[in-house]
Amino acid sequence: MRPFARSIPQLVLALMVRFCINMSVGVQIQLGAEMLPTGLRAMGTSLIHITLYVATAISPFVVYSGRIWHGLPLIILAVLGLVGGGASLLLPETKGKPMPQTIADGEQLIRENTLYGKPEKEQQETDVIFLENKTSIEFG
């Protein structure tokens, strides 16, 4: 295969990846401002922007880590993607619920939901039933 013919698929994939990165950055900026409660909107949006600037500053080091080992940049990006996807599992489920408008609303939303959207209330109810069935409680 000629070098020019081999570079066309690489160019197409690089353009597709760049497009996807630009779209994800746009989504972060848009949804960050929409989803954050009013009291935290300015601070949260600035945190998103700072994170994007840090990622932009670090990206050349990730690209040039390929000089150490050819597959290292792909492994770094895969690990970051898996960590980000795993962290998203810790977010509370908000389908069909109103978005929090205050910090107290956000705290209540987090208190009511745990991993995978399972409500904490079920766990608290079983703890109360267990304590009610104890006949005596000794202190100290």
Question: Are 101 and 77 contained in the same domain?
Answer: no
Question: Are 65 and 102 contained in the same domain?
Answer: no
Instruction: Tell me whether residue 120 is in a domain.
Output: yes
Instruction: Tell me whether residue 140 is in a domain.
Output: no
Whole-prediction pTM: 0.58
21 vs 37: CA distance, rounded Å: 26
123 vs 137: CA distance, rounded Å: 21
CB atoms closer than 10 angstroms to residue 36: 19
Paired tokens of 32: 């960050």
37-87 tens-digit pLDDT: 777 888 888 998 898 889 889 988 988 988 998 888 888 888 988 998 888
The number of folded domains in the chain is 2
Stronger pLDDT, 122 or 113, i.e. the higher one: 113
| Domain extent for 105 | 94-134
Average per-residue pLDDT for the chain: 76
Question: Are 83 and 126 contained in the same domain?
Answer: no
